[in-house]
Amino acid sequence: MNIYNTFDATIANEMKEPSSNISVNSESSSKLSTLTPLSKNVSNFSDEDLNDPNHLLSKMMQNIKLHEPAKNSYKRLSTTQDDLTNKIAYHMKEILELIGEDPSREGLLDTPKRYAKAMLHYTKGYTDDLKEVINNALFESESDEDMIIVKNINFHSSCEHHLAPFFGTCSIGYIPNGKIIGLSKFARIVEVCSRRLQVQERLGRDILNIIIDNLNPKFVVVTIEAEHMCMTARGVQKQGTKTITKVCESTFEDKREKKEALNEFFVLYNSMK
């Protein structure tokens, strides 16, 4: 029995089906119909995608699954990187003036453009294709009794409340249920989830949900240890303060088994240098 009740099964099922069979619910359809016409300057998308809104939307479902993107997320995918950079830089120049700077002085001349490029990098997770990330990396497991732990995956993310960086490490432990995933894919999954506007609590849950959706493991835990610049550079200004979050799910019907698995995770985790 699968007890992962926090997961959106509708979207999960849609993701598992071939893209052409994906049904579009009315809410998503109306969202798509409000979009501006899509240009064809997107390397990630074929002509077929761009001519067929349902096809395009099906490709976008990965991002929707993490959290509902703004309408502009679609626009971002249908616009060139140069166009986006110029638009963001235009507004950044205004912000520089508003804070009391002179954007025409030498040191700041290229700053709006540099900032725009950096911002697009910090949020590139919005354009990553999760299916492509995971593709061909699922294998049959040889044992469904042993725990697999990947410790201290570095990540950089942006706090959605202050647009300030938060960064640290993520560790993942799971007990397979017939399937395993290539170990390097965990770092890719963390990257897709963290390179967007986030809060630490949701970042862990997003990573957990992707693992559940693709592996349906018997047990999975995701811990994140992070430093938030909005805490250390402003507000209370407590240097070195770390925030630790943990999310954990299992298919065990007996709660004691879940607790035992979690204990095993922390014993192994603490024993690894």
Q: Is 135 exposed, middle or buried (0-12, 13-18, 19+ CB in 10 A)?
A: exposed
**Closer CB to Zn ion, 118 or 163, in the complex:** 163
The minimum distance between CB 206 and Zn ion, in angstroms, equals 17
**Closer CB to Zn ion, 75 or 162, in the complex:** 162
40 binds Zn ion (CB under 5 A): no
The minimum distance between CB 76 and Zn ion, in angstroms, equals 22
The minimum distance between CB 165 and Zn ion, in angstroms, equals 9
Kindly write out the interface string for residues 97-116 of this chain, putting x where it contacts Zn ion by CB under 5 A and - elsewhere.
Answer: --------------------
Measure the CA–CA gap between 3 and 130, rounded to whole angstroms. 24
Q: Is 252 exposed, middle or buried (0-12, 13-18, 19+ CB in 10 A)?
A: middle
Window contacting Zn ion (CB under 5 A); options: 5-13, 43-51, 116-124, 159-167: 159-167
**Closer CB to Zn ion, 79 or 232, in the complex:** 232
159 binds Zn ion (CB under 5 A): yes
162 binds Zn ion (CB under 5 A): yes
Collect all residues with Cβ–Cβ distance below 8 Å to 39 and sequence separation of at least 6: 78, 79, 80
Q: How many residues of this chain interact with Zn ion, rule: CB under 5 A?
A: 4
The minimum distance between CB 227 and Zn ion, in angstroms, equals 11
Q: Token pair for residue 159? A: 């706090």
User: What is the residue type of 140?
Assistant: E
- In the list 64, 147, 230, 248, the residue contacting Zn ion (rule: CB under 5 A) is 230
Residue nearest to Zn ion (CB): 230
The minimum distance between CB 126 and Zn ion, in angstroms, equals 19
The minimum distance between CB 163 and Zn ion, in angstroms, equals 8
Query: Helices marked H in the chain — which ranges?
Result: 9-16, 26-33, 47-51, 53-66, 71-77, 81-98, 111-122, 130-134, 184-194, 200-215, 229-232, 255-271
The string over 157-190, giving b where at least 16 C-beta atoms fall within 10 Å of a residue's C-beta and e elsewhere, is bbbeeeeebbebebbbbbbbbeebbeeebbebbb
**Closer CB to Zn ion, 62 or 200, in the complex:** 200
β 179-181/165-175 pair status: unpaired
- In the list 161, 234, 242, 259, the residue contacting Zn ion (rule: CB under 5 A) is 161
158: left (phi over 0), alpha (psi -120 to 50) or beta: beta
Residue with tokens 């640290």: 168
203 binds Zn ion (CB under 5 A): no
**Closer CB to Zn ion, 38 or 159, in the complex:** 159
The minimum distance between CB 226 and Zn ion, in angstroms, equals 11
Q: Token pair for residue 43? A: 């390397």
Torsion sign (Cα): 128, 131, 137, 139: positive
Paired residues of 155 in beta bridges:
168
**Closer CB to Zn ion, 227 or 257, in the complex:** 227
122 binds Zn ion (CB under 5 A): no
Q: Which spans of this chain sit near Zn ion (rule: CB under 5 A)? A: 159, 161-162, 230
